Amino acid sequence: MNPADLLNNPQLQNISPEKLALLMNLAQNNSPKETPQEMAESLKNASETAQKQGINFSSNEREMIVEVLKQNMSPQEQKKVDLLMQMLKNMKR
C-alpha cells in the first residue's frame, strides 16, 4: 500500500499521530503482492511493536485498518482476509 493513501484516507483522519506513524511504517514495509497470510503476519508484528511502545488499538481501529489494507486487494484476497479475521476473532473468545 502506498503510505500516502493512509494520510489521505478519511477513515484515518482522527487516529493519533503515534498510531498513524506505526501504520505508515507498516504500509511502507507492505508489498502490494502480499498474500492475506503475509498481511496477517505483518499485522501481528505491528501489533507486537505497538504493545511494546504502549500503543493500543481499539477493535474499531483494528477493523478500520484491515479495511484500509484490503482496498488494493482482489475480491478473492479480500474474502480470504475476511475469513482469516473471523477465525482470529473466534480464537480470542
Q: In this predicted model, what pLDDT tens digit does every residue of 35-71 receive, in sequence order?
A: 767 777 777 787 888 889 898 888 878 887 777 777 7
Spatial separation of the C-alpha atoms in residues 19 and 79, rounded to whole Å: 26
Q: What is the mean pLDDT of residues 25-42?
A: 72
Helix (H, G, I), strand (E, B) or coil at 82: helix
Query: What confidence score (pLDDT) does residue 30 get?
Result: 66
Query: What confidence score (pLDDT) does residue 24 get?
Result: 80
Check residues 52 and 10 and name the one with the higher pLDDT.
52
Q: Band of the pLDDT at 3, cuts 50, 70, 90?
A: low
Query: What confidence score (pLDDT) does residue 1 get?
Result: 58
Q: What are the φ and ψ backbone dihedral angles of 36, each rounded to 5 degrees?
A: -55, -35
Q: What are the φ and ψ backbone dihedral angles of 79, each rounded to 5 degrees?
A: -65, -40
Taking CA 2 as the corner, what is the angle to CA 33 and CA 14, rounded to the nearest 5 degrees?
A: 125
Q: Band of the pLDDT at 84, cuts 50, 70, 90?
A: confident
Looking at residue 3, the DSSP 8-state letter turns out to be H
| pTM to 2 decimal places | 0.64
